[in-house]
């Protein structure tokens, strides 16, 4: 009974393509996130989103856009893919409120994106 | 902008012994720290946290120590078990508006039976 799921697990694509990664959580959490883990293993937050507010890490290119059809889903759209976008992308969700946000953060298994 | 650093990419320990994983940070505004554990092909899972008002927090076999003056924290696992073999990340959110969340690069722990 997966708490946070992502599809696809692996994604290989050509430069310049547009792709999406889907994320779903069945925990009833209000806040969802996207993280990127690059080749140097840095895990960096890209977005946090709830039904009130989208918070974007200022270093994220505007080719990346989160889209939330409902509270349980936060999909990541990437336009004009570049070689440097190759990474593992993790979706996460958490409860709202204070420091519990981070302790209740559940991560998906990751999507391994390779741009050729 | 590596505000949280784990300088040891890997660590091997015999079963039953103590594992000590280290983490350093540069931002003196951090007031809360977390450790996450990650198995292959899975996302990180929360393990233990510590607030800057404390210097120690213990949860079963896991203890986190915080030395604010040195901007250093460590995770102790005693006794280490083979199931503890995983990658361990330390992390810290920016205080206040916590949309910025910094992870270290992780330390891969192998517990040898």
Under 8 Å between Cβ of A66 and B13: no
What's the angle, vertex CA B103, arms to CA B102 and CA B104, rounded to 5? 125
Asked whether the predicted pLDDT for residue A83 surpasses 70, the reply is yes
A41 contacts in chain B (CB < 8 Å): 105-106
pLDDT recorded at residue B45? 92
pLDDT recorded at residue B63? 98
Asked whether the predicted pLDDT for residue A28 surpasses 80, the reply is yes
| Chain B interface, best mutation among A4, A41, A87, by max B CB count within 10 A | A41
pLDDT recorded at residue B1? 64
* A112 CA: distance to closest CA in chain B (Å): 10
Q: How confident is the model at residue A1 (pLDDT cuts 50, 70, 90)?
A: low
Kindly state the average pLDDT of the residues A60-66. 92
pLDDT recorded at residue A12? 97
pLDDT recorded at residue A98? 64
CB contact residues (below 8 A), chain A span 30-69, against chain B: 40-45, 48, 55, 57
pLDDT recorded at residue A102? 78
| Cβ–Cβ below 8 Å for A42 and B105 | yes
Nearest to A43 among B97, B100, B103 (CB): B103
pLDDT recorded at residue B89? 95
pLDDT recorded at residue A100? 67
Query: In which residue are the tokens 């996207």 written?
Result: A34
Q: CA-to-CA distance for A78 and A14, rounded, in angstroms?
A: 12
pLDDT recorded at residue A30? 86
pLDDT recorded at residue B73? 97
Mean pLDDT, chain A, whole residue set:
89
Q: Is B98 exposed, middle or buried (0-12, 13-18, 19+ CB in 10 A)?
A: middle
pLDDT recorded at residue B99? 59
A4 contacts in chain B (CB < 8 Å): 43
- Which residues of chain B have a pLDDT value below 50? none
Q: Is B113 on the interface with A (CB under 8 A)?
A: no
| Cβ–Cβ below 8 Å for A41 and B106 | yes
Stronger pLDDT, A50 or A97, i.e. the higher one: A50
């Amino acid at each position: 009974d997966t708490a946070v799921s992502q599809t696809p697990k692996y994604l290989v694509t050509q430069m310049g393509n547009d792709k999406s990664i889907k994320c779903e959580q069945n925990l009833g959490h209000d806040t969802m996130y996207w993280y990127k883990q690059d080749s140097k293993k840095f895990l960096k937050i890209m977005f946090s989103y709830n039904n009130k507010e989208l918070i974007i890490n200022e270093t994220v290119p505007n080719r990346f856009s989160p889209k939330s059809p409902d509270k349980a889903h936060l999909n990541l759209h990437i336009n004009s893919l570049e070689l440097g976008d190759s990474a593992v992308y993790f979706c996460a969700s958490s409860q709202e409120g204070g420091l519990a946000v981070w302790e209740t953060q559940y991560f998906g298994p990751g999507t391994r994106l390779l741009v050729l | 902008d590596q505000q949280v650093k784990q300088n040891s990419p890997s660590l091997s320990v015999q079963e039953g012994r103590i594992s000590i994983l280290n983490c350093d940070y540069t931002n003196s505004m951090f007031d809360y720290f977390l450790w996450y554990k990650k198995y292959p092909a899975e996302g990180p899972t929360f393990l233990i946290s510590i607030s800057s008002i404390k210097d120690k927090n213990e949860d079963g076999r896991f203890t986190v120590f915080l030395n604010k003056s040195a901007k250093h924290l460590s995770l102790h696992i005693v006794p280490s078990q083979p199931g503890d073999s995983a990658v361990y990340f330390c992390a810290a959110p920016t205080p206040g508006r916590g949309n910025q969340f910094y992870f270290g690069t992780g330390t891969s722990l192998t517990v040898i039976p």
